[in-house]
């Protein structure tokens, strides 16, 4: 079963940038679409962005124009470039397939992104 390890989260000021990485313990070549999700305190996990094997991308309206998702299937890694960060982007960010793979160990620990002055 594929498992994911997220990294790259940090404390940044509004307007700053971060690049998140998601390393998969198994091959993602067979996964049609990979996505980044986030969960803010008191809220449900939401899909932020996803990308297909063919390079088609989709973004939530709240991040469109600011975030860029990419995947390197050869490295079993997915990235999220985050620019012009806002305090409302503060959340724990996770990666998974779209639709997400469910079951034990399917969700990683996530990486904390905090945007504050």
Per-residue burial over 87-116, b if 16 or more Cβ lie within 10 Å, else e, is: eebbbbbbbbbbeeeeeeeebbebbebebe
How far apart, in whole angstroms, are the C-alpha atoms of residue 69 and residue 36? 8
Confidence of residue 21 (pLDDT cuts 50, 70, 90): very high
What pLDDT is attached to residue 97?
94
**Residue 8 in tokens:** 């790259």
pLDDT given at position 32: 93
Interatomic CA distance for residues 50 and 103, integer angstroms: 20
- Matching residue, tokens 């390197």: 72
Average pLDDT over residues 39-62: 96
| Biggest CA pair distance of the chain | 41
Residue 52, Cβ neighbours under 10 Å: how many?
A: 15
pLDDT confidence tier of residue 83, bands split at 50, 70 and 90: very high
Question: Per DSSP, what are the bridge partners of residue 96?
Answer: 35
Is residue 41 over pLDDT 80? yes
């Amino acid at each position: 079963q594929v498992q994911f390890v997220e990294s790259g989260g940090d404390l940044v000021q509004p307007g700053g940038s971060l690049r998140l990485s998601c390393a998969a313990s198994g091959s993602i070549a067979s996964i049609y679409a990979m996505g980044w999700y986030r969960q803010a305190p008191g809220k449900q996990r939401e899909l932020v962005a996803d990308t297909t094997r063919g390079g088609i991308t989709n973004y939530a309206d709240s991040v469109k124009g600011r975030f860029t998702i990419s995947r390197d299937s050869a490295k079993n890694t997915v990235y999220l470039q985050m620019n012009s960060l806002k305090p409302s982007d503060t959340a724990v960010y996770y990666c998974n397939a779209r639709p997400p793979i469910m079951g034990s160990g399917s969700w990683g620990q996530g990486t904390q992104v905090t945007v504050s002055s």
